[in-house]
Structure 1
Amino acid sequence: NQEHLKPQIVHALSNAELYCLALANIYSDPNYHNQNHCGILQALARKGVYLAEPNNTQLTETILIQNSPLKMSAHMAVIEGLMVLYAKEVVTGDRVVSAIRRFDPQAEVDVPADHEKGLLLWISHASHALIAKIQTEEGAGDKTRLPELPAAKDFQSLCDGVGLAAVVAFYCPGELNWMDIRVSKRPSVADALHNLSLVHAFCNRCLPYSIFHMQPEDVTYMRG
């Protein structure tokens, strides 16, 4: 809702300033400054990110420069496109395979087809690696204590927080103990909120700036 946006934000969206800053930051290239919306859309298209409004009408400069009122659906499409572009640039197939082989050199991993499959593959392998790590530390102890971490099948399956918390517990065991993760075959809303709150707290406490931009409740209810 435009009423909740500061006038400076409305202005920066309608003149493409924020989009220029985003692209310049992604590629560390000042040449992306001073682009208009058409230039932004062309840059996204060159990178394989094509945008359309919810009703499948093509985005145009005319639509995006409107600020009274601001066409929020159009700008949300551009913002989502920039997020997809960033994910594609960061989560390349080679990087995913390399990350997995750092903790599992013998893993037989096919290069994922896209960034979404790449993220899910990495999370699944990190979860399996966490279980293997626990087994090594536990030795011949009680195997019933091992968590049954589900594979990350799609992004919706991450909404219970188990996979995300497992990744943090694997890489940063001193910050998140795997025993604090609530694992259940049919996780409740309370379980999901607990796990996501662990991840949320980790992001706020340990990262230079938080990457958890939503509240745990928002992510929980995304699973439907």
Structure 2
Amino acid sequence: MESLGGALSSIPDRDTKKAALRTTARPIGSNDSQRPIPNPKAQGCDLLIHWGKPQHETAELGGNKQTHPSPPPLPVGHSRVEESPAPLEEMGSRAHAVCGDHIPSDLRDPFYTDQYEQEHIKPPIIYLLLSGELYSRVCGLILPAEQAASLQNHQSVIQALSRKGIYVLETNNTPVSDLDLSSSPIKMSAHIHLIDALMMAYTAEMISIEKVVSCVKRFSNISASKELPFDLEDAMILWINKINIKMRELTEKECKMKQHLLDSPGHHKVRYRRDHLSGRSLQHFPLLEDILKDVSDGAALLALIHFYCPDLIRLEDFCLKEVPSIADSVYNIQLLKEFANEYLNKCFYLNPEDLLYSPPVLKNNVMTFIAELFWWFENVKPDFVHPRDLQEIKHVLNQPLTHLTPYCL
């Protein structure tokens, strides 16, 4: 079985493809201290922090050198977050905290390693969790200012979430109490469930069923009897699938029109090798059934980003195979992370192996990232967002053959 570490070493050189991630378009959020957030009343909260292990990757687009340490080899279907009931990595990948202009170093790196190479949460972080201060800050992002001011402890956060229809429950469906969250030694399972609930609330602020349906209707038809989503997860799947279907239609139409031009009597005949003409027909736009497993190779999400930002992510920049290798998947995920870091204010908080292996405990993290994509492309709409449309096909015949899409070559 191919290991993840070995897969990284076997990734082909794609520096020429990386040139597509050009910096000619002004990236929104290049200043980390000015991160847009869903609630316009919370613009004073400047940064959304990912709690977890320090990220040693450097991702600078536009031709600069990029460094990616190899994630440690893991057997397929296995992830560190499943090695123990409540690992610190799970906590690290799930918590988002909001701070002001000056971020304490403890919040940037909340873990320390003891002499036995065991990781622990730093005491100041334990204090913030037990006091409820951290949760109050996060919950304040999704509430009106007058309601956010009343958040003082765990109980007020739990009540605020319940008013939004989000309940903090243990795995056996018993409510998580203020006592569970404030007791010492810390009861990590209760805190994980509260973090999950906050992420769900944050996600609901950025995406909704109504917004997705309205968005999709602009470029596709929806069957009211078969396709209307019944929850946010279903809405995300609908959005991603409709865009991948649209991309399949666009590339097929472009190929047909270009082929018609090549076959026209007045066109100068050029001989192509058969394998050259058909090689890119293997390009596969995936459709999702399971939001966690089916985005694990990064292809569907990169196709979605290409639809909205064709000048920044081109189809030839990533792998669109029906059965991608681990190396292909890792490459796609790294490109996804680099794009988010450069243009979407570092909203991709997962490690490459997190998305590649997609353990169930990270489902909310994946959904939050997809919600962020929707919010950026459909609500914020930075100046580099230019969705593809069938109207662009009208300009295909006016393009020189050197601009022929690789899908047709």
| TM-score, normalised via structure 2 length | 0.50
Does residue 260 of structure 2 align to residue 123 of structure 1?
no
Q: Aligned partner of 1:24: which letter?
A: G
Secondary structure class of the residue paired with 1:103? coil
State the 1:102 CA deviation.
2.8
Aligned-residue Cα RMSD (Å) equals 2.3
Q: For residue 89 of structure 1, what is the aligned residue in structure 2?
A: 205
Structure 2 counterpart of 1:211: 347
Identity of aligned residues (%): 34
Higher RCO by CA contacts (8 Å cutoff, separation 6 or greater) = 2
CA drift at 1:218: 1.5
Q: Which has the higher helix share?
A: 1
Structure 1 residues 183 and 48, CA gap change in structure 2 (3 angstroms) = same
Determine whether 1:75 maps to 2:210.
Answer: no
Q: Unpaired runs of 5+ in structure 2?
A: 1-87, 89-110, 112-118, 260-276, 361-409
Deviation string 1:175-194 (CA, Å, 9 cap, x unpaired) is: 11112221233322212111
Q: Take 2:124 and 2:246, find their aligned partners in 1: how far apart are those partners? A: 47
**Contact preservation (8 Å) 1:51, 1:58:** yes
Which has the higher Rg, Structure 1 or Structure 2? 2
Judge conservation of contact 2:247–2:285 (CA < 8 Å) in 1. no
* 8 A Cα contact 1:94 1:111, kept in partner: no
Question: In structure 2, how many angstroms separate the alpha carbons of the residues matched to 1:162 and 1:54?
Answer: 32
Match of 1:161 among 295, 298, 323: 298
**One of 8, 16, 26 as aligned partner of 2:132:** 16
Contact 2:288 2:294 in 1 (8 A): yes
Mapped contact 1:159–1:223 kept (Cα < 8 A): no
Cα distance change, pair 31–8 in 1 and its aligned pair in 2 (3 A): farther
Identify unmatched segments of 5+ residues in structure 1. Answer: none
Q: 1:43 to 1:143 in 2, by over 3 A?
A: farther
Tell me, yes or no, if the aligned pair for 2:126 and 2:186 is still in contact at 8 Å.
yes
Contact kept? 1:14, 1:65, Cα under 8 Å = yes
Q: Is the 8 A contact 2:130 2:182 kept in 1?
A: yes
Shift of 1:62: 0.9
| Deviation readout 1:117-167 (Å, 9 max, x if unpaired) | 111110111111222222343324457634221211112111111111111
2:254 maps to 1:137: yes
Distance 1:17 1:63 in 2: 15
Kept in 2, the 8 Å contact 1:51–1:78? The answer is: yes
* 1:26-77 superposed Cα distances (whole Å, 9 cap, x missing partner): 23434223332122212222222222223544311111012x4221111110
Match of 2:319 in 1: 182
Structure 1 length normalisation: TM-score? Answer: 0.87
